[in-house]
Structure 1
Amino acid sequence: MYKQVNLSDKIYYVGVNDRRTALFENMWPLDRGVSYNSYVIDDEKVAIIDTVEAGHFEKWIAKVRAILKGRKVDYLVVNHMEPDHSGAIRILTELYPDMEIVGNKKTLPMIEGYYGINSNFKEVKEGDSIDLGSNKLTFYTVPMVHWPESMVCMEESNNILFSSDAFGSFGTLDGGIFDDELDFEHYVDEMRRYYSNIVGKYGNPVQKALKKLGGLDIKMIAPSHGPIYRENIARMIDMYDQWSRYEGEEGVVVAYASMYGNTEEMAEVAARAVAEYGIKNVRVYDVSKTHISHIISDVFKYKGIILGSPTYSNELHPNMEAFVMKLQHLGVVNRYFGVLGSFTWAGASVKKLNAVGENLNWEAIAEAVEEKHALKEGKYDACWQLGKAMAEKLIAER
């Protein structure tokens, strides 16, 4: 049995929740699960907008069939080719062999490459439309948000934007599906973690997509993960605008690696100074314990970042090295930056962390602090002064 979920008179949500998968893309922890959102338009012609991850096909197709009641599917719109959205394409074509697969010129070769399907294609270009009866879909490409074939489609009668991975979020839909049915604030951190880790590298393409879609009269945003927005549309777009411009809020992320506690102590001193001089949003993370996706999410949120690492075999601590490599891959810019480090016989970590800031064009707020062996009074004061300088830099922007 299935009680249908309407976006409008003839448009339905047919998504599924995944509370079992531990890692998204085999990398990002899904502590609160994830939803795979799919939609059916049951008009004079039938269109399905994206499918779901293949392991959830049975749950999904049961919802589709409950709506269609034996009707055939005329179109499958493929907004995005990642397998968590396209995974059911092959079996769906077997169930509905006359169905046309709708995609752009970059989508269609991927369908053949992934699934060996090379017929019943309908290629759409920027601004093309498909009439379904009382509903009409118009297509817009949004390349590199976050794959080259990514596109969105607008249902013109109800002003619903089917946005694919754009405006998506980690987290299952626990009863509420629309944003006005649930605690929106509960999802904000997972929205940012999703954006920063999955889409975050592509700030410029996101900015171009926001400008392209900015002239549309959007009444609802229906993404491929997370809540459907009909109340917080402006806020969601504003958050995407802020994140894609790497515009941080007042606050500091202190991220460190430490083998024996010496670098950790340096990080604690700096964090205490940041707080004592007036910054309330301070987040301290041990990169060996907290998954980097959570730290990256806060790096996208806050303007200041202090990094600390011991020297390990003349390199950074391996977990810090992995973290800063990801930061450089994402290309996060417009940050204030401080560095701490310790060593036993030869120091290298401070130099390497400084190079990270230089590569990203971050603004150093004080001289880096490097201690040999355990933290002593002179370097304790230097760590304190580094934290103070970070706080003063942020406060000056108020």
Structure 2
Amino acid sequence: MEIRKGIHWVGVLDPGLEIFDIVIPTQWGTTYNSYLIEADEPALVDTVKGNFTEEFLEKLEERIDLANLKHLIVNHTEPDHSGAVGELLRRAPHLKVHGSRAAIQFLREQVNMDFDAHVVGENDSLDLGNRRLRFIMAPFLHWPDTMFTYLEGEGVLFTCDAFGSHYSPPEGKLLESEQAEDFTEAIRYYFDSIMSPFKPKVQEAVAKVGSLDIDLIATGHGPILDRDPWRVVDLYRRWSCIEEGQAKKVIIAYASAYGHTKAMAELIAKGVEEAGNVEIALVDVGVAPESHLDELFEEFDALIIGSPTINANVVEPVWRALDRVSAITARGKAAAVFGNYGWSGEAVGLLEERLEKMRLVVSHPPVKVRFGLTDADKERCLSLGRFMAEGLQ
């Protein structure tokens, strides 16, 4: 399918995909977008997921003899975009492969073969004869290897995952201008699921493309943005905005079997409140919806998490809640643990170990109480809350 003069979509549709990356439901399916740029030296931008390799190569070879294809641009090496590279290189070993330093390294370890690699940097260009590509580094959108590729003078930006969506259009119509239904919800869901842990990097990338003349954004997933690409860029700008000047936020998350851990959590919250000028979110993760936890854990300044000990372990709702905390955005933030027990009390130690492995800073000794709370135990809980809040001032 020609999306602009001499630029062909040669990707594949995956409308039946229900789960992406093990944990992300995809109610609209997805696409794996790859683009052939016709030029004196033809170039291919990205490939597709490995189990679609044959379908992809058949489609590509309908447009070009692989012997005449000169360049492969690798914007990102996650296997849903690089899965067909190995077979493509076996059939076209002469290809010059262009990518960021990280992309070339990752690709070598994926395909385990020699290839003609060309590492590119910020604003490096590739002359295709009658067309020119420029490379824009966009690390951590959402892998460290990511870059954008800009077709100079023609207003086309190839962005791989950024600005995309897990959305397989009805009837296979790939252009945004052909969509009968608004798919903004899919764009937002994709951002929240994949890009939101990297908001500062999103801001950097949006700033970089702000000076470009862009008429079309050729994404790695979902419809190609040909109607109003700047609308989606602006959505990314707004969604990734980190508001300044807000009160610091402390999350106190817990589960409680018989009320003792809950009582500890409430006392810790009271201690935080006494310190003043701190927003408090007290949440029972045993009953809170997952969507609420996702929203809650998206931005915070300190995390205090507690669990009773049952069968020498942290209770499952607390483990599940901690799984929803991004180790990327939470890294370096203050944390503490607490818990109640009757026999052995392993939960607080296990939680502390997990937080440290996630690179949060556990800055206060765990508060661990056996059965009912004494006045001294209550004061320890209050003191923990005050300490954590004062550390944010």
Which amino acid in structure 2 is aligned with residue 150 of structure 1? T
TM-score, normalization by structure 1: 0.66
330, 333, 349: which is aligned to 1:332?
330
Q: Quote the residue 1:154 is aligned against.
A: 150
Identify the residue that residue 318 of structure 2 maps to in structure 1.
Answer: 320
Check the 8 A contact 2:176/2:224 in 1, yes or no.
yes
User: Per the alignment, do residues 373 and 168 of structure 1 end up closer, same or farther by CA in structure 2, a change over 3 Å counting?
Assistant: farther
Residue type of the partner of 1:184?
T
* CA 133–234 in structure 1, closer or farther in 2 if over 3 Å, else same: farther
Query: 2:169 matched to which residue of 1?
Result: 174
Give the corresponding residue for 1:365: none
How far is 1:121 from its partner? 3.1
Shift of 1:184: 0.7
Asked if 1:78 corresponds to 2:74, the answer is: yes
Contact 2:255 2:284 in 1 (8 A): no
The structure 2 residue matched to 1:121, chosen from 100, 117, 135, is 117
**Would the aligned equivalents of 1:263 and 1:342 in 2 still touch at CA under 8 Å?**
yes
Equivalent position of 2:34 in the other structure: 38
Distance in structure 1 (CA, Å) of the matches to 2:325 and 2:192: 15
Task: Confirm or deny that 1:141 pairs with 2:137.
Answer: yes
Partner of 2:10: 14
For the residue of structure 2 that corresponds to 1:108, the secondary structure is helix
Distance 1:253 1:22, change over 3 A: farther
**2:269 corresponds to:** none
Aligned to 1:273: none
Residue in structure 1 matched with residue 390 of structure 2 by the alignment: none
Equivalent residue number for residue 232 of structure 1: 232
Segments of structure 2 that go 5 or more residues without pairing to the other structure are 267-280, 373-393
CA-to-aligned-CA distance 1:72-120 (integer Å, 9 cap, x gap): 3221101122222111112112333433222244433443332233233
Q: Give the Cα–Cα distance (whole angstroms) in 1 for the partners of residues 260 and 56 of structure 2.
A: 50
Counterpart of 1:327 in 2: which secondary structure? coil
TM-score normalised according to structure 2 size:
0.67
Q: Check whether the contact 2:260–2:340 (CA below 8 A) recurs between aligned residues.
A: yes
Q: Deviations over 1:6-25 (max 9, x none)?
A: 1x222233332335566544
CA distance in 2, matches of 1:166, 1:160: 14
What stretches of structure 1 of length at least 5 have no aligned partner? Answer: 270-280, 363-367, 375-398
- How far apart, in 2, do the equivalents of 1:253 and 1:17 lie? 41
Q: Give secondary structure in 2 for the equivalent of 1:188.
A: helix
Matched, 1:132 2:125: no
CA distance in 2, matches of 1:311, 1:113: 42
1:108 aligns with 2:104: yes
User: 2:378 corresponds to which residue?
Assistant: none
Encode CA deviations 1:277-320: one digit per residue, 9 max, x unaligned.
Answer: xxxx99986499959xx944663279998856333356532552
Classify the secondary structure of the residue corresponding to 1:232: helix
* Equivalent residue letter for 2:167: T
Native 8 Å contact 2:10 2:59 kept in 1: yes
| Aligned partner (choices 282, 298, 308) of residue 300 of structure 1 | 298
1:333 and 1:92, CA in 2 relative to 1: closer, same or farther beyond 3 A? closer
Secondary structure of 1:329's aligned partner = coil
Q: Is the 8 A contact 1:39 1:50 kept in 2?
A: yes
Q: Aligned pair in 2 of structure 1 residues 335, 144: CA closer, same or farther (>3 Å)?
A: closer
1:217 is matched with which residue: 184, 199, 213? 213
